[in-house]
């Protein structure tokens, strides 16, 4: 996927004026945060579980190699195969080879952000394999040649009419705006694909080291058909999803559903443990797990390690006022919102994504709701520091901070700066109390008035009174 994070401001401008998108974002804001809050209120130990989850993830990350190797041993013992892929390119090639081994024409896919990250669909198509997204949201996006704007509700940016139009054009049926009709239509179309597919590709919410299992959590059941009907099941997962035991997994399941959608539990939580065994009534004949690193092992032991605790619940973006204003596509790559503003620079380079970690007021809401307590503002600040060190900060901002800091480090001069700015604003503002337009302050006065200082500076008055 092309990285368009450099266009963040332009994209945000368009998004802010997109009536449909704003309506959709309004629905998001009205939905997820309230449902999460209600679910959390029903579970008094929620915060204690978050602490446990944070500590457990920290432990896992300290021993990531051991748990991944244990996972691999158990997958192998179950009759499956683990493929270690350092880069996105490695992962794509491995998956294509596995498809070719099966002479696959079509593959069905469950919802997976990591396959977006490695741009799998485009690659498979270019190599003669047709991927079919089976998650309803992802299916709609695929018809429209669109990409997810949210990691849990991928088509949140679309209206019902957008969906009806896409279905009408691709299914060649009369247009209907009835959600039940559309759902039925998608079901009919996808049913054929589920049966015809040679390979099913899913992501994984967690990898369980002690059993060699992978699990997907879905609300549609599409993932189950994707992974049980075809002859071959390929799980694509990033390395930080491993957890030691099934019991550990359940801790995260409890946090995930509540944080994501406000459900007590996701509807379908399906474990895959190796290929079909003799006597099993269903299941794939071949079971592969493609483990994707793609820069993550570089984060282990560094300042961004805490980001690897992320369980992809989307609570940070659901509660982010910036995401809520501009939507996910403005961020210009796969992962939007606060978690994306930390991950994207790591994966595509800070020089291509510097606007993202800056697009935050550091209000801290994301950290407040994160189920694994990732200090997202701190990690965004980490990127601002890397930008500053590499002289990537825009010249105007760097110059402004430089001049201001020169004064701030010299108290007497700082008094003079405060005194003169105060006097200037009072002279311009006069008795009106506010200024409607101020040169060089358009960012402020284009949208709001500038209040005028109510009198001489405090320091000036304090000195005068002391005399």
Q: Please, which of residues 384-403 interact with another protein by CB under 8 A?
A: 384-389, 393, 397-398, 401-402
434 touches another protein by CB under 8 A? yes
Among 426, 437, 439, 467, binds another protein (CB under 8 A): 426
CB 197 within 8 A of CB 229: yes
Name, in order, each residue with C-beta under 8 angstroms of 52's C-beta and a sequence gap of 6 or more: 251
CB 305 within 8 A of CB 315: no
447 touches another protein by CB under 8 A? yes
Two structure tokens written together for 25: 């974002």
CA 333 to chain CA centroid, nearest Å = 10
456 touches another protein by CB under 8 A? yes
Shorter beta-carbon distance to another protein: residue 90 or 449: 449
367 touches another protein by CB under 8 A? yes
> Binding to another protein (CB under 8 A): which residues in 148-187?
none
Among 89, 265, 302, 458, binds another protein (CB under 8 A): 458
Q: Secondary structure of the chain: what % helix, strand, coil (to 5)?
A: 55, 10, 30
Shorter beta-carbon distance to another protein: residue 57 or 365: 365
Max CA separation in the chain (angstroms): 96
449 touches another protein by CB under 8 A? yes
444 touches another protein by CB under 8 A? yes
The residue count for binding another protein (CB under 8 A) is 72
Among 9, 173, 191, 437, binds another protein (CB under 8 A): 9
d(CA 131, CA 179): 25
Mode of pairing for the β-strands spanning 450-451 and 434-435: antiparallel
455 touches another protein by CB under 8 A? yes
Two structure tokens written together for 332: 């210009």
CB 442 within 8 A of CB 450: no
d(CA 412, CA 425): 20
23 touches another protein by CB under 8 A? no
Number of neighbouring beta carbons within 10 Å of residue 390: 11
Name, in order, each residue with C-beta under 8 angstroms of 200's C-beta and a sequence gap of 6 or more: 107, 108, 109, 110, 225, 226, 227, 228, 229, 230, 232, 233, 234, 284
246 touches another protein by CB under 8 A? no
Candidates 199-207, 225-233, 261-269, 404-412: pick the segment binding another protein (CB under 8 A): 404-412
78 touches another protein by CB under 8 A? no
363 touches another protein by CB under 8 A? yes
In the complex, the smallest distance separating the C-beta of residue 432 from another protein, rounded to whole angstroms, is: 5
In the complex, the smallest distance separating the C-beta of residue 4 from another protein, rounded to whole angstroms, is: 17
Q: What angle do CA 244, 83, 299 make, to 5 degrees?
A: 60
Among 126, 160, 405, 416, binds another protein (CB under 8 A): 405
DSSP 409: T
373 touches another protein by CB under 8 A? no
In the complex, the smallest distance separating the C-beta of residue 307 from another protein, rounded to whole angstroms, is: 17
Shorter beta-carbon distance to another protein: residue 221 or 411: 411
322 touches another protein by CB under 8 A? yes
Q: Tell the burial category of 228 from Cβ atoms under 10 Å away from its Cβ (0-12, 13-18, 19+).
A: middle
- The residues that bridge with 286 in the sheet, in sequence order, are 232
Q: How many CA atoms lie within 13 A of 327 on its CB side?
A: 29
In the complex, the smallest distance separating the C-beta of residue 157 from another protein, rounded to whole angstroms, is: 16
Query: Please, what is the angle between helix 337-348 and helix 376-389, to 10°?
Result: 30
- The residues that bridge with 234 in the sheet, in sequence order, are 201, 288
Among 27, 127, 245, 361, binds another protein (CB under 8 A): 361
431 touches another protein by CB under 8 A? yes
In the complex, the smallest distance separating the C-beta of residue 33 from another protein, rounded to whole angstroms, is: 10
368 touches another protein by CB under 8 A? yes
In the complex, the smallest distance separating the C-beta of residue 418 from another protein, rounded to whole angstroms, is: 5
443 touches another protein by CB under 8 A? yes
Candidates 8-16, 109-117, 262-270, 293-301: pick the segment binding another protein (CB under 8 A): 8-16
Helix (H, G, I), strand (E, B) or coil at 268: strand
Shorter beta-carbon distance to another protein: residue 269 or 445: 445
Among 145, 281, 448, 467, binds another protein (CB under 8 A): 448
360 touches another protein by CB under 8 A? yes
């Amino acid at each position: 996927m092309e990285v368009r994070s450099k266009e963040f401001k332009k994209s945000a401008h368009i998004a802010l004026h997109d009536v449909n998108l704003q309506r959709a974002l309004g629905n998001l804001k009205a939905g997820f945060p309230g449902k999460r809050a209600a679910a959390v209120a029903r579970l008094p130990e929620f915060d204690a579980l978050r602490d446990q989850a944070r500590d457990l993830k920290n432990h896992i990350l300290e021993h990531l190699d051991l748990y991944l190797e244990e996972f691999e041993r158990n997958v192998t013992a179950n009759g499956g195969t683990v493929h270690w892929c350092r880069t996105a390119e490695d992962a794509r090639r491995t998956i294509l080879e596995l498809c070719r081994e099966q002479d696959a024409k079509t593959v069905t896919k469950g919802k997976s952000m990591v396959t977006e990250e490695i741009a799998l669909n485009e690659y498979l198509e270019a190599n003669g394999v047709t991927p079919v997204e089976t998650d309803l949201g992802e299916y709609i996006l695929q018809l429209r040649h669109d990409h997810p704007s949210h990691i849990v509700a991928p088509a949140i940016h679309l209206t019902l009419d957008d969906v009806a139009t896409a279905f009408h054009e691709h299914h060649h049926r009369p247009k209907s705006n009835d959600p039940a009709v559309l759902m039925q239509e998608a079901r009919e179309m996808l049913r054929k694909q589920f049966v015809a597919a040679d390979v099913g590709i899913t992501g994984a919410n967690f990898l369980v080291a002690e059993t060699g299992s992978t699990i997907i959590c879905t609300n549609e059941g599409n993932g189950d058909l994707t992974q049980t009907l075809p002859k071959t099941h390929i799980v694509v997962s990033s390395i930080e999803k491993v957890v030691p035991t099934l019991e550990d997994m359940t801790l995260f399941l409890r946090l995930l559903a509540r944080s994501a959608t406000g459900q007590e539990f996701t509807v379908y939580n399906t474990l895959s443990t190796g290929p079909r065994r003799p006597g099993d009534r269903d299941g794939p004949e071949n079971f592969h797990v493609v483990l994707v690193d793609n820069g993550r092992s570089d984060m282990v032991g560094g300042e961004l390690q805490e980001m690897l605790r992320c369980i992809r619940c989307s609570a940070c973006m659901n509660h982010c006022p910036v995401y809520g204003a501009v939507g996910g596509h403005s961020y210009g790559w796969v992962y939007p919102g606060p978690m994306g503003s930390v991950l994207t620079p790591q994966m595509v380079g800070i020089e291509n994504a510097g606007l993202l970690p800056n697009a935050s007021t550091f209000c801290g809401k994301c950290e407040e709701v994160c189920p694994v307590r990732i200090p997202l503002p701190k990690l965004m600040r980490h990127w601002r520091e890397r930008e500053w060190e590499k002289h990537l900060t825009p010249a105007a901002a760097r110059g402004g901070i430089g001049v201001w800091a020169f004064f701030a480090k010299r108290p007497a001069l700082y008094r003079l700066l405060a005194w003169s700015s105060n006097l200037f604003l009072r002279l311009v503002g006069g008795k009106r109390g506010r200024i409607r337009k101020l040169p060089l302050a358009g960012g402020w006065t284009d949208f709001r008035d500038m209040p005028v200082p109510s009198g001489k500076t405090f320091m000036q008055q304090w000195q005068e009174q002391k005399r």
